[in-house]
Structure 1
Amino acid sequence: MQMIKKHSFSSEFWSQRYEQNQTGWDIGEISRPLKAYIDQLENKELKILIPGAGNAYEAEYLMKQGYKNVYVADISKKPLENLKSRVPDFPEAQLLHINFFEIKDRFDLILEQTFFCALPIDSRKEYAKKSAELLTQNGILCGLLFNFPLTEQGPPFGGSKEEYLAYFAPYFKIDILEPCYNSIKPRQGNELFFKFRKL
């Protein structure tokens, strides 16, 4: 998987994708499954992290719903600038231009949306461990994982329920890991919705 390792952590690689509008993962709005999850949350004080957030429509939606404690992290500056231009009052200090694995903070909730699937395959175990480290006691990691055979063609890189359980079960109680019922049409049958609680 040398090809994958080479570019996936490169700020230049991702910035170039944004500059050239090669953002096939970007659906231009909050994904339905994450909107449905956010809509049933009740605590507006939650400290929330969206890693590898891209254009961060989820963060924009959260802010509009009255969540002020939302942090957006991306290795590329361009999508952070895009979010700021759409939501001018988004706090500068909560826009993190950083590698996910270098974040040092604690959050109540981490929302996963097309970040995990873009990582080098050999970083997946580390992602599970780092997510647990970043969460407060009983914190939640929630979002979507792709459910199609793992290949070198990507990003996105696929995976399976069994593979994901192997990564996350050592650090999390698996509340939900099941096929997504409300995916957008192009992704129907290819997404798993998950909610993991830190052990």
Structure 2
Amino acid sequence: MKSRFDKTYWENKYLNNKTGWDIGYISTPIKEYTNQLKNKNISILIPGAGNGHEVEYLYHQGFKNITVIDIAEIPLKNLAEKIPDFPKENLINQDFFDHNNTYDLIIEQTFFCALDPHFRSNYVTKMKSLLKKGGKLVGLLFDFELTNEGPPFGGSKDEYLTLFSKLFNIKTLEKSHNSIKPRKEREFFFIFERK
């Protein structure tokens, strides 16, 4: 199944500065979660990283084993300019579903909500395959009604539990208490561990 949100769609978003999802810095819930990680050697994947504020923050905190995937080339070039010593081979211009490797941690920040909702079960299966056993998928999921309007596409706690619980242990799925103001009361913070 082909998505209507393909490489051209996302490249045009960057070319036309239509990047309303980009808040300009790492989101507070993800920052606070990563601040308590002790092992800086873990392998981290950030799919659909966009301009990579999470990447930049983590890299400057000493996490050096970070891989970034984006279907659009422009944000990867921006990231390479922002962090000149970031390993170029870890900036991967690729469709997420074509990526094959395994990681200790995958960070979800406005990637799931940008995918055509028809791809949600594929996303869950792919995430499982990209995580080492016991690896974690951590981040934010929107909490508003799923409609055809988007991206971003919404979802509900019940939907997320149904989607993820077959392949992941649900460690945390709760209203984010420290979301940025425009997303307050509209996102869940989650930690899902690969079964």
TM-score normalized by structure 1?
0.96
Offset of residue 7 of structure 1: 2.2
Counterpart of 2:68? 72
Residue 82 to residue 171, structure 1, CA distance change in 2 (3 Å): same
Match status 1:7 vs 2:4: yes
Aligned length: 195
Structure 1 outlier segments of 4+, above 6 Å:
none
Counterpart of 2:124? 128
SS in 1 for 2:34: helix
Q: Report percent identity of matched pairs.
A: 52
Please give the alpha-carbon distance, in whole angstroms, between the structure 1 residues aligned to 2:50 and 2:153.
17
Please give the alpha-carbon distance, in whole angstroms, between the structure 2 residues aligned to 1:56 and 1:71.
11
| Equivalent of residue 22 in structure 1, options 4, 18, 21 | 18
SS in 2 for 1:29: coil
- Structure 2 stretches lacking a partner, 5+ long: none
Counterpart of 1:154? 150
Counterpart of 1:113? 109
TM-score normalized by structure 2?
0.98
Match status 1:81 vs 2:86: no
- Deviation digits for residues 68-127 of structure 1 (CA, Å, limit 9, x no counterpart): 100000000001011111111110010010111111101000000000001111110110
Counterpart of 1:55? 51
Counterpart of 2:172? 176
The letter for the 2-side match of 1:49 is L
Please give the alpha-carbon distance, in whole angstroms, between the structure 2 residues aligned to 1:191 and 1:18.
24
- Structure 1 stretches lacking a partner, 5+ long: none
